[in-house]
Amino acid sequence: MPNVSTRGDGKPEVNHSYSAKLNPATGECILENYGEKYKTCDFALLANLYISEGKPGKVVEVRSSRRTGQSNFVSCMREALDRHYGKKPVGMGGTFLIQKGKAKIHVMPEFSPCPLNGDEAVNNWLKFFDMSAPLICQSVYVSRDLGFDLRVEHTHCFSHHGEGGHYHYDTTPDTVEYLGYFLPAEHLYRIDRPEQIHKLGW
């Protein structure tokens, strides 16, 4: 769950990121303060990052409770933007709180010793949990892919009770409550785009 103030104006970088991994002995989630523990801002595999100057200003506030359809909170916002703006893609980033209820969250185990071919193999490898509110979520989403092989939405969450990971959807549609703050992006950068694309899940 990347959250970094970058170096600048004579100040060093500050890393508030968290990471989630599995306890190999128990299979439970271990949430760690990544910046404090590993003293690095490096990351591997992939990241969907929202970058801002951190200045105060107007933001979009979204309050929502009770889920009536299949789409998760982020998909609802993304699909609404896509319906409205169509061929003009809109990218958003921000943070939201799952204030009440529970959510389906995955944590990556150790890397698979064999290649994972297909979504089913990926899902069998990932470890899924039903995690409890309050969950603090960081999200990046783009209303539609312009052909960059984007992951059009990606949300990770952490908490102050030891749970965190990759957000899929809430599992308590009748009682769930969300509160979020978002901003539209001005530019989209696709860095180190893979030459071979796989169209695989998460």
Chain contacts with Zn ion (rule: CB under 5 A): 166
CB of 155 to Zn ion, least distance (A): 8
CB of 47 to Zn ion, least distance (A): 9
Residue 190's identity, in one-letter code, is: R
CB of 68 to Zn ion, least distance (A): 25
Nearest Cα to 65, choosing from 168, 172, 178?
Answer: 178
- Give CA–CA dist 19/33, Å, rounded: 7
Q: How far is CA 106 from the centre of its chain?
A: 11
CB of 19 to Zn ion, least distance (A): 11
If the CB atoms of residues 144 and 156 are measured against Zn ion, the closer one turns out to be: 156
**Helix, strand, coil percentages in the chain from 3-state DSSP, rounded to 5:** 10, 35, 50
CB atoms within 10 A of CB 166: 18
CB of 72 to Zn ion, least distance (A): 13
- Give CA–CA dist 74/55, Å, rounded: 24
Instruction: Determine if residue 167 is left, alpha or beta; phi over 0 gives left, psi from -120 to 50 gives alpha, anything else beta.
Output: beta
If the CB atoms of residues 50 and 65 are measured against Zn ion, the closer one turns out to be: 50
- Give CA–CA dist 173/61, Å, rounded: 20
One DSSP character per residue, 72-109 reads -HHHHHHHHHHHHHTTS--EEEEEEEEEESEEEEEE--
If the CB atoms of residues 67 and 156 are measured against Zn ion, the closer one turns out to be: 156
If the CB atoms of residues 78 and 166 are measured against Zn ion, the closer one turns out to be: 166
If the CB atoms of residues 43 and 85 are measured against Zn ion, the closer one turns out to be: 43
Residue nearest to Zn ion (CB): 166
If the CB atoms of residues 19 and 143 are measured against Zn ion, the closer one turns out to be: 19
CB of 151 to Zn ion, least distance (A): 8
